[in-house]
Every structure is written in structure tokens, then in C-alpha cells.
Amino acid sequence: MDKTASTPQALRRTNLKAVLEVMRDAGAMTGTDLIEATGLTRATVIAVCDDLIRRGWVRELEGDRSSGSQKGRPARRFEFNASAGCVLGLDVGLATVTVLVAGLTGQMLGRAAERFSKTADEAERRATIARTADRALAEAGLPHSAVLAVGIGLSTAVDRHGNITKGLQLSEHFDIGLQTELWQEHGWPVLLENDANLAALGEHWRGVGAGVDDLAVMLAGERLGTGLIESGRLLHGSNGGAGEVGTLELVDGVGSQDGIARLARHWGTAALAEGKPTLIRDLVGPHTPRVSARFVFEAAAKDDPVAQEILERIGRRMARVISLLGTFLNPELVVIGGAVSASATALLPTINAELPRLTGTPPRVAVSELGDAIVATGAVRLALAYVEDNALALTPVGAGQGAGQGAGQGAGQGAGL
């Protein structure tokens, strides 16, 4: 590995990252273990470990005499310092914000969510987001200085450099100065990404799409949006528009970007307005004209024919959308995710029956198990990747002078808001 870098600094960074990647997932290791795992020389491994200990990324444990021999010096044992800091993963939607706190090995430590006021301006939205992050950190029992990076998913296009694409749908709603405020207030590096792209990262990391390198993940609640991974690489397109499906209005049998929850709600409400005899009315109550998607799925599960017909219509519509992905992008797997994922399993029989008729390359279809945390989980993965790539420029908690500065040491503000 140490032959791949062309300058001493690049070589050092490459070797440091190689050792950290191994130690982060392997637990306690000896120098010999690290040599075998990385291919680095003994001198390089020991020098890198000593450097990482000084920086606060690695701890040295008591010597190992597990072989039973009491002669000579025990082997040095090293362990990744999982308490060196944490990252935040945020899902900032139109109506709510969800914040996850994760340790440096990806373990979830805290969570908080809050709805935005319907009349909130930019300052109020930023305040709600900051307050929710504070609550999540409090649940995790961690100070602001422990945060090394923040990933944020937004319901608008974001290019590969982390900039909101101006002039596209909803871009002005999310361009609220959040990145700048969090940097100035806490020194946190903030990385922006499209929410569907982060859903794809989350599934590829911790979901049913783990290990699948040709993957499409559809956020399918209120509006459809797709994150795409091809050959293990997240696709953005020239300005962040890859996976945007606003042109579905031109597709026969689809007609809009409406998602599963919105369609179930709309068609369920229409069924009541038409006076159709349905269990949906009993679930909603006699005095409420509007239907929630949950009641449609509940009625269908109880064999209500009106609700089942609504789900079949939604399933046929989703099959058309998925067939486009299968034809043009040829993913191995399409995952339906978002807040509707717990109910979307009911759509799979119709989708799978329709797909072979619509495309010669039908992908496998699955439902996410990450629930409404799918975007925030991907945001955690994005923030962890930043920490892994920039460990030399970051200061872990309690590591020498400036530990209280958290991630601000050596890390740029980044592009964007």
C-alpha cells in the first residue's frame, strides 16, 4: 500500500488510512496482525501506530502473552479509539428534521426528531435543526466538541461537490445558510447531499442493499426520488440531477412524481367521497373526509376490496417506474424506502407480477428495513467517510491541545450554503 502515494505526505496519509480502516472494524490487534492485514512493513506499522496514539485515534493496550510464553517483551497491542469523537447524520425534509448521533465505528448513540412550524422562516428552521441536534447529543451524553463531521440530506438536488443546485425544485427552500451557521457556531465540517442519494448510501452500508454494487433506492413516501449506485459508486450527474424523476408526468400510467403515501391518501379519500362501502370509513371515523395512507394499508390487510384495489393500482404504477430504472440503468436491486417502507411489502406481489411484462431486464425489488432513518443513516455514512479521509486534519476529543475545538482543527468549511 505504501507504494501507491507519490509524496511523503500522501504516503503518510495512505498508510494512516490503511491502518485505521483495519483497526476500526477488527478490535484489538498486534503489530503482526496489522502487517498481515495491510501489507505494510513492521517499521511502518509501528511508526503509524505511534503517530495515531499521539493523535488520539488509537489506544495501546497491555502487552499480549496469549501464546503462553513468559520470556521476552510481550507483543504490543493496539485498538481503535472508538470514543475519539462522533458524527451527526441529519435528514432535513420539508416538514421534519431527524438527527442521528453515531460513534466512529458506526454505532448509533442518540436520536431526536422535530417538526418544523408551518410558518417557520429560514432562521426558525435553522434554530429547529440546531435544537434537534442538541437533543440528540444530550441523549448520547456527548458535548458539541465531540462532533467531528456532520452529514445532511436535503430534498433537493446537490452536486458532487456538495453544493445545492440552484434553480431546481425546492432548492430555495433548503438554501438557508445552515452549513455556514454550524461551522461558525461549532467548527463542524458540514457535508450536504441529496436525500435519495443518502438513502442509497445508507442501504448500501447497513440495509438490504449491503454488498450490492448496482443499486437503486427509491424514496417513495410523498414524492418519488431515486439514489443510484453503479459499480459501487454514487451517481450525481453533471449538476446533481441523477435520479431526479420529475419527468414522470410524461410516462403513461404514471403521470406525476407522487409517492405511495400521497397516492394512498388521495385515492382513499376519493373512495370515501364516492360513497364506496369500505372498511377505510370505519378506520377513519364518520366525520373525517380525509384518509391517511396508514388506514388504506390497514384496510387492505383486512381484505377490504376497495383498499386492495387501491394498493394494486399503486403497485402497477410503481412497477412502471421501476421498469424505467431496469431498462435505462439496469440495477441488480431496487429498494423502496422511506416512511412508507413498513407498509410497502404489500405492494411487492403486484410489482413483481407486472415487471416482466414491462421490461426485459427486471431488477429484484425489496423493501428497506431502515424505516424513516434511511436518509439519516446515509448521512452518518457520509460523515464517517469524511472523518476517515481527513483524520490527519481532525483533532479527536481529548487529544492534546485544542481537543475542545472538535472538528474545527484543520478542516475547511466546505462549499455550499
pLDDT bracket for residue 411 (50, 70, 90): very low
Q: Tell me: the pLDDT tens digits for 162-186? A: 999 887 777 888 989 999 999 999 9
pLDDT bracket for residue 408 (50, 70, 90): very low
By mean pLDDT, which of 181-190, 234-243, 264-273, 276-285 is the weakest? 234-243
Query: What's the pLDDT at 172?
Result: 83
- CATH topology identical between 86-202+374-408 and 209-369: yes
Higher pLDDT, 388 or 147: 147
Judged by phi (left if over 0) then psi (alpha if -120 to 50, else beta), residue 84 lies in: alpha
What residue spans define the domains of the chain? 8-80, 86-202+374-408, 209-369
Domain 8-80, CATH class in plain words? mainly alpha
Q: Tell me: the pLDDT tens digits for 277-296? A: 999 999 999 888 889 999 99
Higher pLDDT, 243 or 386: 386
Query: What's the pLDDT at 403?
Result: 33
Specify the pTM.
0.88
Contact assessment for residue 5 and residue 13, using Cβ atoms and an 8 Å cutoff: yes
Query: Given a cut of 80, is residue 70 above it in pLDDT?
Result: no
Higher pLDDT, 28 or 73: 28
Q: How far apart are CA 94 and CA 221, in angstroms?
A: 12
Helices 8-26, 31-38: crossing angle, 10 deg rounding = 110
pLDDT bracket for residue 139 (50, 70, 90): very high
- Of residues 193, 155, 204, the one with CA closest to residue 366: 204
What is the CATH T-level fold of the domain 209-369, as seen in this structure?
Nucleotidyltransferase; domain 5 (3.30.420)
Q: How far apart are CA 229 and CA 410, in angstroms?
A: 31
Beta-sheet pairing, 96-103 with 58-64: unpaired
Q: How far apart are CA 189 and CA 202, in angstroms?
A: 20
Domain 86-202+374-408, CATH class in plain words? alpha beta
Average pLDDT across the chain, whole number: 89
pLDDT bracket for residue 412 (50, 70, 90): very low
